[in-house]
Structure formats: C-alpha cells, structure tokens
C-alpha cells in the first residue's frame, strides 16, 4: 500500500492525504479585509482577545493556526519589519505555550521567519513565495515547512487588470519553479506546500479556472493549501446583495468551495469559519472512506 505523504514541519511529522486539515486564520492586523481590528482594544493588539479567539478555534476543530501581522488586501498600508514582529511573535509564543497545534506564520519578512522558528512556529506561509531578498535563505536555515503562494504583482496593485495567456499553466509553472528554488537551497521536498493564490492578481474567471484545475487534480507538483474563505470573488458570483458587500455574509459560498476542495484531495483549507468548515470536511471524509 502506498504510504500517505508526510509534511515535515519543525519537530512535527504531519500525515497528509486523509481529511483536509483546517487552518484557522488569526489576523493580528488592524486592516485585514474580513476581520481586521477585531483582536485590538483601544488601538492596540489584545493578547487576551487573541487567546480567547484561539481557544474557540481549538474547540471548533482547528488543526492549525495561521498568524498574519501584515494585511495583503489591495491598498493595505505597509508595515515595518519591527511592527510586524511586534504583532506576531508574542502571539506565536503564547499559542505554542498554551495549545498543542502547529502554528503557521503568514509572512514574507526574513527576520520574522527566523524569529518565528525560534518561538516555536511550524510553518512559513509566504504570499510572495520566498522572493523577498533573504527570504529563501532564511527559510532554508530553519526546519519549518513552507507554503509557497502565487501572486501576480504586489498587494497594492495586484487587482489592476491581471492578465494571463493560460492562468493554470502559468500558476503551476511558477509554483514549480519556486519549489525547485527551495529544493536547490536545501529545503526538503517534504517541507513544501503550494497555494494557487486565489484572489491575488486574478480576475473571477482566473479564479474559477484555477479552482477547476484543483478539482481536476491537474498535475499540481506538491500538496495544496487552498484559501478561498470569504473572498471577494463570491461577491461577483452571488445574487445575494449582503454577500456582495459584507465578507462575513459569504459563509455558504466559502463552504461550497471548501467541500469541493476537500473532495478533490487538497491537504489544507485556510479559513475564518472553523466549525462550519470542519463539519464539511468530516462529511467529505465519511463519503471518501465508506466501505474501507
């Protein structure tokens, strides 16, 4: 029998290939598109609020935490490396001390990658696929897993007329090239996940084509992490006026794609709504394993 793939993530060996793992989003930012500022009090990040949110996510069935200290929505303000670290590192340390869940750090900043590894993180989740100067070298110095995401352009301008000849082929080729660069830098293949980057420099048509490629399992070279939770593309699809204008009204649409992703065998689904997504992937798991 073929062995299930394993993700090497710090001192953890995480089996993939069964139920899609649910990655819970903890944005410690004042300006993220869906939940920015919710963990702040009187203008400052509240560690108490973060821990209460994290505990609720654990009870809801989260498999991972993903901590982001810099918003990557179009038009978001840039933060300095020190500002990002001040937001992220205390949260990583507190989560590692309190919960037995692996922690992913959503960052492109090399110094934070190294500090997060020292603080006990298990993965680097980089929307820029380790392309900032020094990022690839920093990731290679750690033993953390890395998630490489595709983005056309930069967050501030990425949704200004994105264009592709063949979006699926180009995204796949980019991710393969970045993964190869990681391997050449000494990062074990079993430490690598890839993310097509839904909504990052892509039109609705591009997003839908990419998701069909996920459903078709179209030759993706590494295990997939999918992030579509509450995305603005749903506002372009749905006739529901509330969902067009309010990210928090996109739950049912997010769950529809979560179900399809889970059934298609993705490794992880990055979400805001943990309990609802966990219910979905458990139903998919039951369907896939019936009779075994």
Whether residue 231 lies in the annotated active site: yes
What is the spatial distance between Cα 205 and Cα 23, in angstroms, rounded to a whole number? 26
How long is the chain? Answer: 292
Residue ranges of alpha helices (H) inside the chain are: 47-60, 81-98, 110-119, 135-141, 167-184, 204-215, 233-237, 241-245, 251-263, 274-289
Sign of CA dihedral 87, 93, 95, 96: positive
Beta strands 64-68 and 44-45, pairing class: unpaired
What one-character-per-residue DSSP string does 185-211 give? TT--GGGEEEE--TTSS--HHHHHHHH
Contact 27, 36 (CB under 8 A): yes
Q: Which residues pair with 41 in a beta bridge?
A: 44
Q: What is the dihedral of CA 73, 39, 262, 260, to 10 degrees?
A: -50
Whether residue 278 lies in the annotated active site: no
Give one word for 153, left, alpha or beta, with left for phi > 0 and alpha for psi -120 to 50. Answer: left
Contact 28, 68 (CB under 8 A): yes
Name the catalytic one among 87, 178, 202, 270: 270
Name the catalytic one among 178, 231, 250, 278: 231
Active site residues per annotation = 231, 270
């Amino acid at each position: 029998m073929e062995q299930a793939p394993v993700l090497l993530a710090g001192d953890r060996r995480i089996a993939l290939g069964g139920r899609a793992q649910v990655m819970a989003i903890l944005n410690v930012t004042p300006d993220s598109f869906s939940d920015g500022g919710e963990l702040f009090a009187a203008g400052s990040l509240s560690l108490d609020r973060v821990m209460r949110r994290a505990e609720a996510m654990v009870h809801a069935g989260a498999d991972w935490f993903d901590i982001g200290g810099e918003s990557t929505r179009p038009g978001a303000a840039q933060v300095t490396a020190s500002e990002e670290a001040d937001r992220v590192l205390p949260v990583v340390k507190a989560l590692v001390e309190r919960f037995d869940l692996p922690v992913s750090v959503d960052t492109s900043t090399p110094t934070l990658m190294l500090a997060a590894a020292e603080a006990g993180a298990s993965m680097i989740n980089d929307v820029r696929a380790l392309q900032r100067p020094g990022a690839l070298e920093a990731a290679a110095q750690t033993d953390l897993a890395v998630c490489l995401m595709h983005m056309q352009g930069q967050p501030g301008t990425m949704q200004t007329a994105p264009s592709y000849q063949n979006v699926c082929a180009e995204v796949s080729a980019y991710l393969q090239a970045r993964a190869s660069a990681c391997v050449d830098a000494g990062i074990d293949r079993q430490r690598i996940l890839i993310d097509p980057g839904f909504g990052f420099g892509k039109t609705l048509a591009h997003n839908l084509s990419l998701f069909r490629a996920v459903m078709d399992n179209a030759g993706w070279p590494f295990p997939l992490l999918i992030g579509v939770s509450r995305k603005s593309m749903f506002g372009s699809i749905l006739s529901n006026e509330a969902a067009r204008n309010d990210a928090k009204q996109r739950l049912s649409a997010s769950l529809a794609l979560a179900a399809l992703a889970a059934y298609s065998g993705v490794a992880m689904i990055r979400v805001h709504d943990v309990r609802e997504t966990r219910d979905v992937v458990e139903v998919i798991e039951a369907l896939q394993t019936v009779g075994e």
